[in-house]
Structures are given as structure tokens and as C-alpha cells.
Amino acid sequence: MKNNNIYEELSLIQGRALKIHIAVVVLFVLLILIFWKIQILDYKKYFKLSESNRTRQVILPHPRGLIKDRNDVILADNKASFKASIIRENCKNLDESYQKISRLLNLEKEVLIERIKKYESLPLFQPIVVKDNLSFEDVSRIESRKLEMPELVLQLEPKRSYPFGRFAAHVLGYLQELSPEDIKSSLYSKRRLGELIGKAGIEKQYDSSLVGTDGQVIEIVDSLGRRKGEIERKEYIQGKNLKLTLDFALQKKAEDLLEGKEGAVVVLDVKTGEILALASYPDFDPNKFINRFTPEEWLDLINRPEFPLENRVIRGLYAPGSIFKLTIAIASLDSGSINERTSYYCSGKTRIYGHPFACWFKGGHGAVSLYNGIKNSCNIYFYQLGRKLGIEEIHRYAKELGFGTKTRVDLPGEKEGLVPNPQWKQKVRNAPWYPGETISISIGQGPLLVTPLQIAYHTALIANKGTMISPHLLKSNEIHSGREGKRGSMAKKHSINIKRSVFEKVIKGMWKVVNEGGTGRAAKIYGYDICGKTGSTQIVSVETAEKMKEKNQEIKTHSWFTGFGPKDDPKVVVTVLVEYGGMGGATSAPLARDLFDLYRKRYD
């Protein structure tokens, strides 16, 4: 019995020993697998971690390419700037570090924390910018405390600078910091978080050309993060320089003429489509976007009632008013519904489809044919032309002459405007088209909407007698080797299917507008044959206008002038819009004359 018990106890011990043996073997196998993974599979990861204890990677930010005008005046430059960044890995106590940094840099602690919180998903060793554009005093204070505050580091970077402030702001655009949302986009996947990217204008349109490639330095550092040497260096590559078609003097003149008003100016080369001036007012200073906005500052800027960030040249939608009479004249002549001798009688008012319609000149113009109709901008004459054409023909010709379609200028955010027709009204307003609406469209009123750039393009099309151009701002890409790559859009020209003789007749009428006492006579320059057309667009309904007249209240209208010169060898188009400016001949035509005069002195 005793021997049997001994055997039973021995087998129990052997079973337990086997289990322990298996467990030990499994543990050893797991350890071997873990060591194999660390040493073989993940050796690069742990090598980098070990190296980071004695090395540090420093990014050498690249400067953006310069932006110049056509005569090499630098409009967007770079300047050296210091920024302060926090490395959270070096913070012994985050709250204590926040307190010290906010006092040292004169930053509100809440702003500092909000800034860091925005990038809290970044690795702890990655610097987060807390203040940029540091003054000499800021740099001195940080340098003097670098041993006691290893979490705060100075970084040198090339910073965008616009030496002329607000000059050409809507052309150049502005930069903003790359956000965590932007970095998820494939467009910016290779960019650094916190890097400044183009958000408007040329800065956005050609961001991929203007941006360069960052360099880097691998430094040897001690336990306190102090630099002891350098292992490797890779220099940055600057972005490509861009040369624009802008002429500094014409752009400056356009902006000076617009100052204090709300409006837009375009000066366009008739032959090439080069934009010599593009001004929109109110404007802004793009330098302010380089330094980081507080949310309050940003909201204050975008909520201003005058919308300074809106580029009215390509995004402002306006009724063209009497300028659209040129389109009606072209359509009527080309379709054969009239000739230059066809006349209608203007008594100052008429009835069409049972409704009263008036001319802007209460006394009436008498018998009016094509040339005097354009010269005096007679509403009654163009009411009759529009009635004969019908809305479908007006829509077809307007689209062919550049309205309701983007010009494809090389600026982001261009709007295409609107040329209405019965299908549009049924779809959008769920209502039929009434014949009386065609009469309003024939003098550029109603739901018809255009941009100032479309008006300039339309004018160039008339000046070129149907030959199309492509409005553009890029003149050339300056490659690092010094060679220049021209923009391809100006290489090919096409003509629309309208007879040249039609344009010649309309041009004759436009010449009379300026040179024979027409509505645009304020644009006249002796010895320089300018052809033009004025427009005034009423921005209240007819009923409201009548009520305002009864109360002796001023009826505000937008003021237009567009024209080209000289008549026999067209070279330049000038288009001016002044919001709430009154009559086009009184407000916009004199501004256009000054721009024509400056162009003539510089180029002709």
C-alpha cells in the first residue's frame, strides 16, 4: 500500500513538472520571437529611437518663389524671421512650462494652450510653433533662458513678405497655415504641418510651382539638447519665381482711382490677353495673414459688410446695364433682323406687351438708328431690338460673346455669371418666362449677371472683331537654370462665327459714344481714338424706384464704363465698375480716361 502511494505521488509531481517545462519552453520561444522581432524586423525603428538620444533632425524651411510684375518689380518676397516653438517632450511640468512661456513671450496662457491643443496629435518630440515674427527682444529673452527652458526653442525660417502692402492684394492672394485637415488631403500630403500654403490668388493658383523642397540637418546633441556637431546636411531648394503680366504703374493707378469706393478695374491687352491691371476695392494687407490670426481677428475680417477679401473682378456678379446693348446690337445685325439704317422712334416712353417702358432720357431721342442708338444708349431702340430677337436668340448670342461662362483666367474662385432663358426660369423658379422679361434683358437688367472680367473679355472680343483671347496673369515661369516657360493659353487664337462687318458697325457706334458727345464723352482723349460704352444698373425694382422718386430719395445705381483704344489698331481694354457710383458717363468714364492716358504714355 505504501509503495502504491509513493508511485501515485511521483506521477503527480511528474505531471506538474511537465506542465512547468512546457510553460518555460513557451516563454523562451516567446522571448526568442520578441527578440527576433526587435532585432530583425523592427531594428530600424529602435535604431532611430536610440539615435534620437544623441541626434536631432532640424528642418531647413525652403523659401517660396518670388512673384514679380512684368518689369521685374518684386511683389512677393521672402525675409528672415524667427519663431518660437515648444517641444512637449522636454517639459517636466506642462502647466508650469505654459506659465513661463506665456510670461516670457507676452502671450495669454489661454491662447498658448489653444494653439498647442490644435496640434496635440503630433508626436511629443515635434516642435509646435507658439509665436512667430519674433522681435529682437523676444529672441534675446529666449536665448538667455535656453538652459533653464529646454522645451522652448528658436527656429529661423524664410517668411513671405509683400513689400508694397495692399498693392495687388486680390491678384497675389494670401497664405495661411496648413491645418491638420489640409494635411489629410492628397494635395498636401507631403507638406509639413504648420507650413504656410496659398489660400487665394496667385499664391493658391500656382502654389505647387512657388513651393520648394525643405532641407534638413542631422545634429549631434548632448543630454540637455545643446548642439555639439553635425552629421549630415541637405540644402533646401527654393520654389520657382513667377513673372506676372501686371504693370506696376497701371496697377497702382487703378488702385488709387478706386480708393474710397467699392468697385473693380481691369486693364487688358487686346492682342495677347495679358492682364495689365486688376484691382478690386476694398482690399486687404496680405502681410497680416503671415502672422497667425486669433479667431476673433479672423471673424472680424470676414464679417465686414464691405467684404474686403472678395475679388470683385472675378467674383462680383452685377447686371451689365446698358453695356449689354452691344450684345443686342451684334445679335440683331448678325441675325439679319436689322441693318445699320433700321430706325425706331423714341418719345421717352412706350408700351410693349401692354406694359409701360421708359427711356432714361425723358424727352426722348426722336428717330434712332444703330449708331445713334449706341451713342445715346437709347432704351426704346434696344427694347425694340430685344423684342424682335426673342430670349432664345439673346441667350445664344450672349453665351457666344462670353457671358454666362468662365473666362478661365488663372485665378481661383471665378464665377460664371448668369444668362437666363425660359429653361433656367422653369428649373430654378418653377415659373414660365414672360415676354416682358425679354424687354428688361435687352437693356441689361433683370436676372442677367456678369463679372467685370467678363465685360473686359467681351470688349476685347469686339475690338478684335470676333477673335478670342485668353485673359491671364502668368507671363512666365522662371526656372532655376534661368530659362523661362511661357504660358500656353496665349498661343492659339480662335474666332467666333459672327461676321467681322457686324463688329465694325458696332465699333463705329462705340466711337461715337466717346468722341461725338455720347454718354461716354468724359473718356475722350484728343489724338487717341477711344471706343467705349457706358452703363448704369438700377439695383432696386421699378416700383421701389418710383416710390423713392416721390419721396425725393436718391436712387443709387452701379456705374459702368468699358472701352478700348485706339480704334483702328486696338491695343488695350479698360473696364471700370463703381458700385453705387451713379451714371457711368459721370463716374466711371473719367477713371477709364486716366488709365487710357497712362497706358498711352507708357506703351503707345
Residue 479 confidence (pLDDT):
43
For residues 499 and 509, what is the distance between their CA atoms, to the nearest angstrom? Answer: 17
Residue 137 confidence (pLDDT):
84
Closest CA to 385 of 350, 426, 343, 425: 343
Q: Roughly what angle, to the nearest 10 degrees, separates helices 452-463 and 325-335? A: 40
Closest CA to 395 of 456, 327, 463: 327
User: How do 241-244 and 67-68 pair as beta strands?
Assistant: parallel
Q: What is the pTM of this model?
A: 0.82
For residues 59 and 591, what is the distance between their CA atoms, to the nearest angstrom? Answer: 50
Which one-letter DSSP state was computed for residue 282? Answer: S
Residue 54 confidence (pLDDT):
66
Closest CA to 414 of 456, 475, 462: 456
Residue 141 confidence (pLDDT):
84
Q: How does pLDDT run across 477-528, given as a tens digit for each residue?
A: 654 333 334 443 434 567 888 999 999 999 999 999 999 999 999 999 999 9
Residue 450 confidence (pLDDT):
97
User: Within the chain, which residues score under 50 in pLDDT?
Assistant: 1, 479-491, 541-542, 544-545, 547-548
Residue 544 confidence (pLDDT):
47
For residues 299 and 282, what is the distance between their CA atoms, to the nearest angstrom? Answer: 17
Domains delineated in the chain:
55-88+99-244 (3.90.1310.10), 248-301+310-474+491-603 (3.40.710.10)
